[in-house]
A = this chain, B = another copy of it.
Amino acid sequence: MATVSIKDVAARAGVSPGTVSNVLNRPEKVAGDTRARVEAAIRELGFVRHGSASTLRAGHSRTIGLSVIDIGNPFFTDVAAGVEDMASERGYAVILGNSSGSRLKEERNLLVFAEQRVRGVLITPSDEDPGRLELLRERGIAVVLVDHPAERSSQCAVAVNDVTGGAMAVGHLLRGGAGRIGYVTGPAAIRQCQDRRRGAEQALAAAGRDPAELREIAMPAMTAKAGQQAAEKLLAEDTLPDALFCANDLLALGMLRGLLQAGVRVPDDVSLIGYDDIDFASASTVSLSSIRQPTYQLGRVATELLLDECDNPDTHAHQQIMFQPDLVVRESTR
């Protein structure tokens, strides 16, 4: 219970508190034998540094904040894993904030980050308003956008090219001989949905087809359930498209189930491709073709940029990194 402080350690080792602090923060500055004595004292007393005192005095902490839209989505889970690994390698702790798509919760999380005086924030913004990020930056908190292109060049951002991804998906469907193509998507406000659609249209145009041919089925959510509802919607019509491009794998898995249950064969009757390449894409009964994104890497690189900005504020050059997605062909497309 008796919380042991740096002073206790100093007394035990027969040195001043300042020396103990040096052992902790710049071990190379202190002579070998004293360092050994101090380290022994630390071990014997079970001392652990008081992070808050350290933060208070130093003016900054060894934590970063990570704000994501939906921690239940495997995409963000993978990103978070990358963030955590890199942060932990560099001695930083991660405070996780889940906004669940709610702007209110996002703001509350950012407030917590500010109170904790995090060194920096990684955020996948839930909308396009840059105001609250500006507020953080004014406070000297570095910000890196994740899976979102930068609004200006004065900040770091990492993203994956969704336009390219959309083009890859539809290009693959076209090469398979698809005639009518449907695009099953989520809310129009989501940037990723728009970009993937643009890519799809580009692929049509590149094949000498009219982009307006793309038949859009928009759903209010991007879940497996929504995907199945989309299937019911499609099946109620007289003719099915030859191929379907779903804006994410959850939609695609729901769609797959809906089609198979109705006796539609995949890929013989309809080709189907998803997006994200989540684990379950390869585990479904008809394994799902998909667009793979370097999610884990996305998290790692974003964290690296953030920590570089924190640790070397003078030499740091803001970067906007755009990864490229990959096409993964499996059984659901011909």
Tell me the A residues contacting B by CB distance below 8 Å.
1, 3, 46, 48-53, 55-56, 61, 63, 71-72, 74, 77-78, 80-81, 84, 88, 93-96, 98, 105, 108, 111-112, 114-117, 135, 138-140, 223-225, 227-228, 250, 253-254, 256-257, 260-261, 279-280, 282-287
A55 to B51, CA, bound (A): 10
A94 surroundings in chain B (CB, below 8 A) = 95-96
A56 surroundings in chain B (CB, below 8 A) = 50, 52-53, 56
A223 surroundings in chain B (CB, below 8 A) = 279
A72: contacting residue among B81, B140, B224, CB under 8 A: B81
Instruction: Give the residue among A135, A228, A250, A257 with the most B Cβ atoms within 10 A.
Output: A257
A78 surroundings in chain B (CB, below 8 A) = 72
Given A50-B115, A224-B280, A285-B286, 15 extra CB contacts under 8 A:
A1-B139, A50-B56, A51-B116, A51-B117, A56-B56, A71-B80, A71-B81, A94-B96, A96-B96, A224-B283, A225-B283, A227-B283, A253-B284, A257-B284, A280-B280
A112 to B54, CA, bound (A): 13
Top 5 A-B residue pairs of the complex, sorted by shortest distance between their CB atoms: A224-B283, A285-B285, A52-B55, A52-B52, A51-B115
A93: contacting residue among B46, B112, B261, B279, CB under 8 A: B112
Q: Shortest CB–CB separation between residue A296 and chain B, in angstroms?
A: 10
A140 to B50, CA, bound (A): 14
Chain B residue with minimal CB distance to A71? B77
